[in-house]
Each structure stands twice: as structure tokens, then as C-alpha cells.
Amino acid sequence: MIEYILACTLWAAPDVVNVQVPVNEYAMATMQETIGNFEFDADVVEDRMNSVTIIYKPTETKAMAYSAADYTQRALTVKLDTAQKQSSLDCEIKPK
């Protein structure tokens, strides 16, 4: 059986962080990380990308991307620019 991981690249200028989370036996995974004032979230449901979210905590500004219910999405990306602050989140499901 092939094992999968949720691999994400988080960018909150000027910092870049790579995170890998195993997809469990129920085909689910959740990633939650904070860099400075940005909160990054991503989740895998039923072996497909479900959503990615960035929240800029001081103003609660949020950017989200969701996959279509009838399509097996393997990657999602989202970007959030707030005044002088920039961030992005790129995630994909890939073999371990």
C-alpha cells in the first residue's frame, strides 16, 4: 500500500517553512502552523485536498481555497496580501 503525505510550503515574507504531515489510514490529514502573525491551515479528507486557509491574526483577514466536491484535487494554493504583509500556502498530496 502506498503511503501519502500532505506536503506544504508556507511563506510569510520573508520566512519560508516546509511542513510534511502523514495522511492517516482513514485518508485524512490536518496541518496547522503559525509564522509570525499568520496562521496556516490545510486539510485532506477522503484522500483529496479539502481546503487551505491563511489568517492574518491582527485583523482576522482570511483567504481560503476549497476543492470541488466531485473532483479529486491533489493540490491547492492560496495567497493573502494585507497592506505591507504578504503570505502564501501551497499544499499537495504526494507519495511518502
Parts of the chain with a pLDDT under 50: none
Q: What is this structure's pTM?
A: 0.93
Domain of 15? 4-85
Residue 59 counted as domain residue: yes
* Per-residue model confidence (pLDDT) at position 94: 96
Residue 17 counted as domain residue: yes
Residue 64 counted as domain residue: yes
Residue 96 counted as domain residue: no
Report the 10 Å Cβ neighbour count for 31.
Answer: 19
Residue 25 counted as domain residue: yes
Residue 76 counted as domain residue: yes
* Per-residue model confidence (pLDDT) at position 86: 95
Residue 92 counted as domain residue: no
Number of domains present in the structure of the chain: 1
- Of the candidates 54, 57, 29, the residue with the CA atom closest to the CA atom of residue 43: 29
* Per-residue model confidence (pLDDT) at position 68: 84
* Per-residue model confidence (pLDDT) at position 55: 97
* Per-residue model confidence (pLDDT) at position 83: 80
Please list, in sequence order, all residues whose beta carbon lies within 8 angstroms of the beta carbon of residue 84, skipping any fewer than 6 positions away: none
* Per-residue model confidence (pLDDT) at position 72: 84
Residue 90 counted as domain residue: no
